[in-house]
Chains A and B, each alone.
Chain A
């Protein structure tokens, strides 16, 4: 042992520091405790997430039909996806749809959160009303939209014709652009309430003293919002945006009900394309390959969002 090491040990002894008998023993014990505590959760994740995911990957490497025998086809399903115009179109369409709705959902949700974050009288009722569309659910609202978007009897056309914006005979659901616009408006109305709740919870957790200090320093409302609220709300914003983007990528109900993917396949989302391939198309192997690609794309986007929006840990 070198003289310097001996000196260090004696200094530790004088300071009353006791090295563990086996330094690794404590950390090993901690590791075991940690493993024991997380084991139930890990088991559940393994059974209900990892095993199905792995089995899905396995199916994607076969020609698994809806019914009947199957065999291993390697990467043939993935290769065919590269040349599958309908699948590629559905990915592009879903990306466009996600890009269109994400920012409005966030902006509207943020504005509403600012409006309802205080405890003024009536805000509870207002919060409830804004959150109501999320509680009612997108399936019900999509069916309502089908009725309200009818060319000669729906309320959308009635209101627009009274405002002299449209003729009142617009066939919203059978034109790609109009149908997409209608669905985006519906989804923004549906999802803004959830964003509002997430951001409002984050805003209410910011200490009031920080705003008082900002006011003392002469900060305007906008400055306080920009320099106090936004930085401290970073994680809530990240969470709401991630939920919003994942939800948009996995969109199915509204397209299935309102347009059925039409006209043609022009409003077919990725998940709808997967469903069409697996059930009516009876090609579960190919549909699984599509699902794996979707999982990878969503995973990558979520990872990037985390990196950008979470920033350095406190």
Chain B
């Protein structure tokens, strides 16, 4: 090999190592002005979306490419559990995609490392900014700056079986308004026998439990974590709403008002027993709607506060983010703006997702998608836990949140579970780097 050949390889290896060794690139807004940014862009936009949200991603990509001649979107679906690591690898390697549909709870992890483009002025220019999902937007916000914009909503609601309500002597048009009512309604429905359970939960799925339980705390103005990042405190031991909720779950379990298999339900077949007409009340995912074929039997309601008076939802789903260093940010923003238009947003329910604009909820939308109308109404009151430690606190196996639930519900030790939860959640939050 000639000297030039060796030099070429040496430079290539050094470049690769250099890129790898580089810290993340600083975010930049050194793009074009707000008026030309995202207008008549050309070229290709590489769009990464999670496999879990492939339906809307594929539909949006196909529709956009049909209607845009000069700008092409190429979709890449990231596998479950690997979406953040793949994005981090791409950013580290200096070849990020142009736009990402990122699980909104993961956005702070990237935005706090300056890995995302600051799109504040473009978001502020959106005429419908005030109608955007508050929870999704909060997770993409640092101070007064936006590093993302809502993409799609995956919301939690309270499903209930109207036929079973009627059979149990309950009003099928009066879903539970608080946890005490959930317990009493569940008792009456379970009394029907024949394998019917009053209530059901995914009792071995950490993430599912957080998804449906936390909104009932938020509805009553209570969060599990308080304070700014880097100085967050766990609100567990003195959280009376949490204690009531765990006590009620313990009652539901100990009185056998839930299917026995709930203890091992890891989310794989979550909701199947409800869809089979065997469960009266199920806090669950709005996405179950795609399997609910009979509106006279199945209905959804907002997740009530533990002690009632209000409702909320988990603002789950994805945010659109543009990684710093994206090669076609203008094209990415044009695609994002197009996806947020009513014509596209109104198609989301067909894929099991909810629009991220509250102004999409019109009488005609509610008539066409009655299940989603409930979820979309709750979106305005939705929330999230803003933390870099969400996965560690809630979603990981052996998370302090789940240990607390197991101890309180299955072992019947609510006070002990809460005590352990306070110390476990606090130490987990403290250990995550900020």
Residue numbers of A with Cβ under 8 A of B are 65-70, 86, 143, 146-147, 149-153, 169, 171-174, 259-265, 268, 272, 276, 278-283
A86-B398, A265-B398 as given contacts; A279 in contact with B81, CB under 8 Å: yes
Residue pair A261, B398 in contact (C-beta under 8 Å): yes
Contact A262 B398, beta carbon cutoff 8 Å: yes
CB <8 Å contact, B85 and A66:
yes
Q: Chain A interface mostly helix, strand, loop or mixed?
A: loop
B392 within 8 A of A: yes
Instruction: Determine the chain B residues whose CB is within 8 A of the CB of A264 once the complex forms.
Output: 397-398, 403, 406
A268 touches B398 (CB 8 A): yes
**B52 lies within 8 A of chain A by Cβ:** no
A151 to B410, CA, bound (A): 15
Interface size on B, residues (CB 8 A): 36
| A67 and B398 contacting across the interface, CB-CB below 8 Å | no
On chain B, the residues within 8 Å of A66 by CB distance are 84-85, 88, 109
CA distance A152 to B391 in the complex (A): 31
How many whole Å from B45's CB to the nearest CB in chain A?
22
Q: Is the CB of B204 within 8 A of A260?
A: yes
Specify which chain A residues have a CB less than 8 angstroms from the CB of B406 in the assembled complex.
Answer: 263-264
A-B contact pairs, 11 of them (CB 8 A): A67-B109, A68-B23, A69-B24, A151-B264, A152-B261, A174-B410, A261-B398, A262-B204, A262-B402, A279-B82, A282-B432
CB distance from B293 to the nearest CB of A (A): 23
In contact, A279 and B85 (Cβ under 8 angstroms): yes
CB–CB B261/A151 < 8 A: yes
| B interface, CB within 8 angstroms of A | 23-24, 81-82, 84-85, 87-88, 91-92, 109-110, 113, 115, 204, 206, 259-261, 263-264, 266, 268-269, 391-392, 395-398, 402-403, 406, 410, 432-433
Q: Is the CB of A262 within 8 A of B397?
A: yes
Known: A151-B260, A276-B397. A174 touches B92 (CB 8 A): no
The residue from A70, A86, A173, A261 contacting B264, defined by CB atoms under 8 A apart:
A173
* CA distance in complex: A261, B266 (Å): 12
Hey, which chain B residues are within 8 Å of A261, CB to CB?
397-398
On chain A, the residues within 8 Å of B24 by CB distance are 67-69
Residues A280 and B395 in contact in the complex (CB < 8 Å), given A66-B88, A264-B403: yes
Tell me whether chain B's interface is mostly helix, strand or loop, or mixed: helix
Collect the chain B residues with CB atoms within 8 Å of residue A276's CB: 396-397
Are B204 and A151 in touch, CB under 8 angstroms? no
> Is B259 touching A68 in the complex (CB atoms < 8 A)?
no
**Is A67 a contact partner of B204 (Cβ separation < 8 A)?**
no
Residue of B nearest to A51 (CB): B13
Interface pair A174/B263, CB less than 8 Å apart: yes
Q: Which residue of the partner chain B has the closest CB to A259?
A: B397
Report whether B397 and A67 are in contact in the complex, using a CB–CB cutoff of 8 Å: no
Task: Identify which of A146, A152, A280 gathers the most chain B CB atoms within 10 Å of its CB.
Answer: A280
8 Å CB contact of A281 from B263, B266, B269, B392:
B392
Give bound CA distance, A45 to B276, whole Å.
55
**Interchain CB contact under 8 A, B261 and A65:** no
Chain B minimum-CB-distance residue to A68: B113
Known: A69-B113, A260-B397. 10 other contacts (CB 8 A): A147-B269, A153-B261, A171-B264, A172-B264, A174-B264, A265-B397, A265-B398, A281-B391, A281-B396, A283-B433
Q: How far is the CA of A189 from the CA of B418 in the complex (A)?
A: 41
B92–A67 touching, CB < 8 Å: yes
Contacting residues, chain B, for A150 (C-beta < 8 A): 261, 264
**Is there contact, CB below 8 Å, between B398 and A152?**
no
Bound CA span A146–B369, Å: 34
Cβ of A83 to closest chain B Cβ, rounded Å: 13
Min CB distance B224 to A, Å, is 18
Q: Is the CB of A280 within 8 A of B396?
A: yes
Docked CA distance A221–B403 (Å):
55
Nearest-CB distance from B212 to chain A (Å)? Answer: 18
Check B85 against A68 for contact (C-beta < 8 Å): no
Q: How far apart are the CA atoms of A41 and B88 in the complex, in Å?
A: 32
CA distance A279 to B396 in the complex (A): 10
A86 to B431, CA, bound (A): 14
Q: How far is the CA of A174 from the CA of B205 in the complex (A)?
A: 11
Cα A148 to Cα B410 in complex, Å, equals 22
With A152-B261, A262-B398: A173-B204 Cβ-Cβ less than 8 Å: yes
CB distance from B280 to the nearest CB of A (A): 17
Contacts of B81 in A (CB 8 A): 279
A54 to B263, CA, bound (A): 44
Q: How many angstroms between the C-alpha atoms of A261 and B24 in the bound complex?
A: 32
Query: Which residue in chain B gives the minimum CB-CB distance to A172?
Result: B264
Chain A residues near B206 (CB, 8 Å)? Answer: 260
Hey, which chain A residues are within 8 Å of B433, CB to CB?
A: 65, 282-283
